Amino acid sequence: MKEATNNVTDELLAKYLLEEATMAEVEQVRVWLSGPAENQRYFNHFTLIWEQSRELAAHSTVDEAQAWLRLQDRIFAATEARVIRMRQRRRIVYAAAAVLLAAVAGGWWLTRDSSQATKQLALRADDSVVKDTLPDGSRVTLNKHTTLEYKGRKVRLDGEAFFEIAPDERHPFEVIANGDTVQVLGTSFNVCTVKWSTGSDGMVVIVETGSVRVRSGSKIEEVQPGEVVSSDGKGYLQKGPNPDQLYAYYRTHQFICNNTPLGMLVRKLKAVYGIKIIVENRELEHLKINATFEDDSLDQILSVIEKTFPQIHIERHGQQIYIK
């Protein structure tokens, strides 16, 4: 049985959720929850699966003892399942709810191909960036207006997210976006779903560390650090060097421009600040800028652009900005 700091076990958490814990045990759990952030994340994942198990309980035929071991092994990223020695019947009674949780939810999490394994957990970022740790230990940062559905080490993405994957050679991590797949063992990379001007849906993958394998239809590309690959969801892949660091703004709050074309920076400013910026002379888009903006306002950034390039004049009319 998994034991967290301060002797808070899964058995105790089950009693807490069942409202069968003593006052002293309730206080123990509350003190534990007020501790490191990882305690709250652990409890949140435990509670999520608990709630899902209530919906599936009536249909479960999973062996309880085995499911409990599998739950410990997979959900909480244990390296080896631990044998539970039930020496006292009283212990079994208090763990009953947790075992039922393992028996029911365990089938959903641990048997990927089961016909009953139809539900997934999801993370959603609406108007703010969301950071979380997945049950396998991988960390993810969701950009605004992004949804991530996950089950085991397979996730489905709609929007943009940065992944830091926990290594597991036996179980590759997969990201599915607009029909294409990114497969990794342990690395960090950014994935963004896109709709191209042609009307097709695709994705853009940028690798920071390690390497990934991107598959679109029958085409496969190995992507290394500093490279970017784009797909159209129809079997077309294009790979090349990543030209800028602007994609990371939602994580770093920095616009890093290293000989970056002005047009590329303008497109990012439009997306981040939600305002229409019109470059009247397309030749200006090819001007190269070297600067780093950290938590600067849009007006401050535009002021630097105007001072950097004497030939540029910037005007604002309501919610539209003109670069002339």
pLDDT per position as a tens digit, 229-256: 988 777 788 898 888 888 888 888 888 8
Q: CB of 21 within 8 A of CB of 47? A: no
Backbone angles phi, psi at 148, to 5 degrees: -130, 120
pLDDT in tens, 25-56: 888 888 888 887 777 777 776 766 655 554 44
pLDDT at 181: 92
**Whether residue 93 has pLDDT greater than 90:** no
Residue 197 pLDDT level (bands cut at 50, 70, 90):
low
pLDDT at position 202 over 80: yes
Residue 217: is its pLDDT beyond 80? yes
Beta bridge pairs of residue 228: 206, 240
pLDDT at 164 over 90: yes
Q: What are phi and psi of 127, to 5 degrees?
A: -100, 10
pLDDT at 158 over 90: yes
Task: Decide: 277 and 301 in contact? Cβ < 8 Å.
Answer: no
Distance (Å, whole) CA 226 – CA 236? 20
State the average pLDDT for the chain. Answer: 76
**54 Cβ contact list (under 8 Å, min separation 6):** none
Question: Which domains, from first to last, does the chain contain?
Answer: 5-110 (no CATH), 121-241 (2.60.120.1440), 246-323 (3.55.50.30)
Contact 286, 267 (CB under 8 A): no
Backbone phi and psi for residue 72, each to the nearest 5 degrees, phi listed first: -65, -40
Give phi and psi for 177, each to the nearest 5: -145, 120
199 versus 317: the higher-pLDDT residue is: 317
Confidence (pLDDT) at 118: 39
Q: Which residues of 143-168 are buried (b: 16+ CB within 10 A; e: fewer)?
A: bbebebbbbbbbbbbebbbbbbbbeb
Kindly report the backbone phi and psi dihedral angles of residue 202, in degrees, each rounded to the nearest multiple of 5, phi listed first.
Answer: -155, -160
CA distance 53 to 39: 21
Q: Comparing 70 with 257, which gets the higher pLDDT? A: 257
Of 77 and 292, more confident = 292
